[in-house]
Structure 1
Amino acid sequence: MIGVVKVSSQDLSTVLARQESHFLDFKGKEIKPARLSKTVSAFANASGGEIIVGIEEVSDPHKRALVWNGFENQEAANGFLQMIHGLDPVGSNFSVEFWEAEGENGLTLHIQIEKTQSVITGTDGNAYVRKGAQSIKVTGDALDRLRFDKGLVSYEDELVNSNHDLVSNSDTIIEFMLDMVPTGEPYDWLMKQSLISDDRPNVAAILLFADSPQAILPKRSAIKILRYQTKDDAERDYLVGDPETIEGPLYTLIYEAVARVREIIEGIEKLGPKGMEKVEYPEEALHELVTNAVLHRDYSIAADVQIRIFDNRVEIESPGKLPGHVTSDNIAKTQFARNPRIVRLINKFKNPPNKDVGEGINTALEVMEKLRLKNPIFEEKEAGFLVTLKHESLASPEQMVLDYLKSNPQITNQQARELTGIKSENTMKNVFYRLREAGEIEQTPKVKGKKHSWRRIVSDSENH
């Protein structure tokens, strides 16, 4: 028997107030299992989600309303349970439970669907994806795109219409062979690593061992670095100079991009406890996140990795959605290599950028935590994956204000917001009020023409 969860009246009100979305769908119990399978497929092929069968929308021209109209008993939902088992026989991707609520008719079926590693099709044999509150059938190029997104097909294995000399006789491969395989011949070694086929190199070979991959794979093998002199969104008016492009084989690309980003960041200052201070990010965390963006991006998408440097954050965006079953929530706990050949072979270089294969995100998190800096923010976008590093400490706003006042006579609301990252002037006022109530600070006497400010309350022991 499947478990039955009792839903409180408060929880039921919350459920009935929800809107159908990219992650939620309501279906009446009269829907056919075959038709529901399309929605199950759509969630599984996108970011996962939940379906509640037995809650339906009533027709009312004046307002939207959802009503509970459940199954008479569990057996009445057998057709849906059989359909779900057919799509996921092992039961590792979908989970089901029945809900009952006091005063409501029958049982509703709650289906929780995880993002799957494979492409899930409906009972009609077609694949669907969730877009907003719709389930859309995918065929042709869109289905190929879905397979790339899932990591079922890797663009790194695609053959390039170029002569193998580009990788078998490059300066990069010769230097690599002298370091790592001094007795081997480049062509033979590349063949054994499945990097050359029919005397043509594949994408992985070009990215790793061609001296200028960008000449062969333009718009998909470089890193763009942009500096925006603002804390707001990226707009051309705030762009400092022209975007910089870092090129070269992947090994060089990663190390040169990290070095350049660090150089730009060191030129930024922010308000700190002792006044204006240089912004610093742990180079190890920056290195791991850039490495991750380069090695795990989707190379079938004609777009470069972008690193955007703002006054209060750094954004690293790589083309392609997260592969397989990886999500923004589980990225630190799971592993899936979209480009396993590239990941494995770049690890053979001297001082490889991915020293601990599969541990890049965890390493970055650990380094940030040790330095008491806020964790990176991970977001999956429509066509890419975005990591944001903010210039923010884990210290509370109250502690940051007090630390600042140890070295400075006073602080204004604007200075405090810049220091703490708080955007709202009223929220910052509440921080000051809490410190005042705790007997830590007081308002400085108002001086005409100057903004209100706050200062520490000096204890008697400090006066003597």
Structure 2
Amino acid sequence: MDRQQLTQLMGLLRRSGSDLCDVEVKAAAGGLPKSLRDTLSAFSNDRGGTVILGLEEKDGFRPAPGFDAARIASALASACNDELQPPVRTEIEIVEFEDALVVVAEISELDPRFKPCFVSARGEYNGSFTRGGDGDRRLTDFEIHLLHTNRGQPEDDRQPIAGATLADLDSTEVQVLAARVRQRQPRAFANLDQPHILRRLNVVAEDTDGVVRPTLGGLLALGIYPQQFFPQLNATLVAYPGTSAQDVPANGPRFLDNRSFDGPIPVIVDEVVAAVLRNTSVRSFVDGSGRTDVYDYPAEVVREVVANALLHRDYSTYSRGTPVQITLYADRLVVANPGGLFGAVTEDDLGGEGVTSSRNPVLAKLLQDIRLPETGRMVCENRASGIPTMLRELRRAGSPPPEFHNRITRFKVVLPRHALLDDATTAWIAGLGQLGLTTSQHLALAEMRTGRTVTNGTMRNLGLEAHRATSELSDLVNRGIAVRVGERRHARYVLAPEVSDPAPIRIDGTATELVWDALANGIELSRRDLEQRTGLSHMKVLRALKVLEETGRVTPTALGSSPLRRYRRNDPGLW
């Protein structure tokens, strides 16, 4: 990180008033803080991050008096190498900033084969951390279990299910499957009878007593009612009238729809798509062929995201009590499943050509040959084509690309409802006075305006090649309208602090109003609490709190560096 990049980043931090999720700033004037080992572990187990030492957060991120950059850089290198397991490999630099020297270290995400990274003196189960908000949180036993299983290939979907029999499989769909694989793969299946086909496809397997029973994958793909054995291996849908669960109109309904979907995966996918479309409206957009009417969320997109969630979710015993959750708000559709991304795939890889890694290979193999009840199409192609299809359909409809949120125990896809380049956004971009911006740069700025960060992967999802994506993002930084946070693979881009603060997009209320409403009735909430209650992004909550603090409507309960920092409403007489 050079001096200019550090200056821009500090401007962003001063504007937000505290650390960002993947940036940790410490004064370190008295030595290397002990808590920094937790942060090194957290960044390594998460998406990486940036450590900056020598600046005092309580003093507006000014240089800390008495800071010895050379000594701290050496201590940091020793901690990375000797006090964490596996050792943290990082580039440590001493950078000049405001007539002082600071230490900057870029921490890369650890290869999934070696996670978790933990503080050696505290052991794996007490010394493994991840990031939460702008702080560090100890990993739970379940999270560590998932990291361990991510090192190899889980076999949950090929295990025979106690108590299940062949009568629990849909005989019609079994016959259709057998006929299809005989035709599509004659060398492997043409000369086999149906029982042997089911064995070869791992639809059935022998249990420890030698009894042939359906496997978990077989039940989920071909079962008559898998929920007889696993009641929560289904999907749920809740539709709210506003932009959060708490945003309920006066005398209005709490839910617009609230239901669960049982049956095998093909039935669940079809029923969820129909339910989502019933709860959304049709909008128009103009493309090369003229005016086109589409649902807020194209059916093909909903089908892909729900099928992916059911296919790639964690089916281990830890997660069998958790369904796939579909939540429909006024401004977005959220689909969440237990278990984060599997294997070496990252959020930035999603949508790339040939990018795939299946936690449930038996299920993935089956669903490419099993039909959806309504359309007769296969549930999935198993060709890494699901997300590219989703991105293509969203671009065609003029919608923003999806947001992917990956955590160890949970993967979430957010589909925004609004058009990406609406009239207000187009006028705002024009007001920046930047000539020669490309269409994709306009789209990137529109994304940043909503409070979302943009990465190289975001630009690829907008249709650019990787090298072009990097070039266009670098151009926005050089123009002074964007700031890069982080380096290399975990680099992300946000609006520069010099750019006039954009107005939040209004659906059923601004971000400021949502945060204000969440603090009603004397409640005190942290920023992370506010993100969860409002459904707003990290940057949107920061901006809303800044506005509320500047206008005297909200007061923090502790200093920005305190883990006890909460926010509460002020008496109206004070503002």
Q: What TM-score results when the alignment is normalised by the length of structure 2?
A: 0.56
Structure 1: distance between partners of 2:236 and 2:256: 13
Q: Where in structure 2 are there 5+ consecutive unaligned residues?
A: 183-189, 287-292, 372-376, 428-502, 512-575
Instruction: Determine whether 1:191 maps to 2:188.
Output: no
Map residues 123-272 of structure 1 onto 2, 5 A cutoff. 124=120, 126=124, 128-132=128-132, 135=136, 137-138=138-139, 140-147=141-148, 153=154, 155-165=156-166, 170-181=171-182, 183-195=191-203, 196-198=205-207, 199=211, 200-220=213-233, 222-228=234-240, 230-234=241-245, 238-239=253-254, 243-265=258-280, 268=281
Q: Deviations over 1:37-78 (max 9, x none)?
A: 6543332223432334x43769x9x99976243125977765
Distance 1:71 1:168, change over 3 A: same
1:209-233 superposed Cα distances (whole Å, 9 cap, x missing partner): 222111111112x2223333x2332
1:370 counterpart = 2:396: yes
* Larger displacement relative to structure 2 (121-130 or 206-215): 121-130
Deviation of residue 424 (structure 1)?
5.8
Partners of 2:168 and 2:223 within 8 A in 1: yes
* Distance across 1 between alignment mates of 2:38 and 2:18: 20
1:339/1:238 CA distance change after superposition, 3 Å: farther
Corresponding residue to 2:327 among 308, 333, 355: 308
Question: 1:293 touches 1:305 (CA, 8 Å); kept in 2?
Answer: yes
The structure-2 alpha-carbon separation of the partners of 1:139 and 1:385, relative to structure 1 and needing over 3 Å to count, comes to closer
Contact 2:180 2:369 in 1 (8 A): no
SS at match of 2:118: coil
AA in 2 matched with 1:284: E
C-alpha displacement of 1:369: 0.9
**Distance (Å, rounded) in 1 between the aligned partners of 2:178 and 2:143:** 40
Aligned partner (choices 337, 346, 370) of residue 318 of structure 1:
337
Residues in 1 aligned to 2:98 and 2:402: alpha-carbon distance in whole angstroms: 46
CA distance in 2, matches of 1:16, 1:257: 42
Q: Deviations over 1:6-47 (max 9, x none)?
A: 4678358548857456533346494499x8665433322234
Return the alpha-carbon distance in structure 2 between the equivalents of residues 240 and 140 of structure 1: 35
Q: Which residue of 2 aligns with 1:99?
A: 94
Q: CA separation in 2, counterparts of 1:104 and 1:12?
A: 17
> Alignment partner for residue 112 of structure 1, among 72, 82, 107?
107
Per-residue CA deviation, residues 394-421 of structure 1 (Å, 9 max, x unaligned), is 44316999xxxxxxxxxxxxxxx9x985
Counterparts of 1:103 and 1:278, CA distance in 2: 53
- Aligned to 1:71, the other structure's residue is in SS state helix
How big is the shift at 1:362? Answer: 1.7
Deviates more, 1:318-327 or 1:298-307: 318-327
Residue in 1 that maps onto 2:360: 339
2:118 is the counterpart of 1:122: yes
**What displacement does 1:372 show?**
2.0
Specify the SS of the correspondent of 1:144: helix
The verdict on how the C-alpha distance between 1:399 and 1:105 changes in structure 2, with shifts beyond 3 A counting, is closer
SS in 2 for 1:114: coil
**Larger-Rg structure:** 1
- 1:389 maps to amino acid: L
Change (3 A) 1:74 1:37: closer
Change (3 A) 1:201 1:88: farther
Distance 1:13 1:310 in 2: 35
Aligned letter for 2:235?
I
Aligned: 1:24 with 2:20: no
Aligned 1:345-364 pairs, distance under 5 A: 345-350=366-371, 351-355=377-381, 357-364=383-390
User: What does residue 7 of structure 2 align with?
Assistant: 10
Q: CA deviation at 1:123?
A: 6.2
- Whichever residue aligns with residue 109 of structure 2, its letter is E
Q: Distance in 1 between matches of 2:510 and 2:143?
A: 43
Encode CA deviations 1:253-289: one digit per residue, 9 max, x unaligned.
Answer: 2233223433443xx367999xxx8845432222222
For 2:395 and 2:323, locate their aligned partners in 1 and report how far apart those are by CA, in whole Å.
Answer: 29
Seen in structure 2, the aligned counterparts of structure 1 residues 114 and 107 have a Cα distance that, compared at 3 Å, is same
CA distance in 2, matches of 1:51, 1:395: 35
| In 2, Cα distance between equivalents of 1:424 and 1:74 | 44
Distance 1:399 1:82, change over 3 A: closer
CA shift in 2, pair 1:393/1:32, >3 Å:
closer
C-alpha displacement of 1:169: 7.5
| Closer, same or farther: CA 103–291 of 1 in aligned 2, 3 Å | closer
**Cα separation, partners in 2 of 1:252 and 1:184, compared to 1, 3 Å:** farther
SS of the counterpart of 1:389? strand
Q: Provide Cα deviations, 1:316-354, integer angstroms capped at 9, x if missing partner.
A: 232333334545444333533232332222113353222
Cα-Cα RMSD: 4.5
Q: How many residues align?
A: 392
Distance 1:129 1:186 in 2: 49
Contact 1:207–1:213 (CA under 8 A) maintained in structure 2: yes
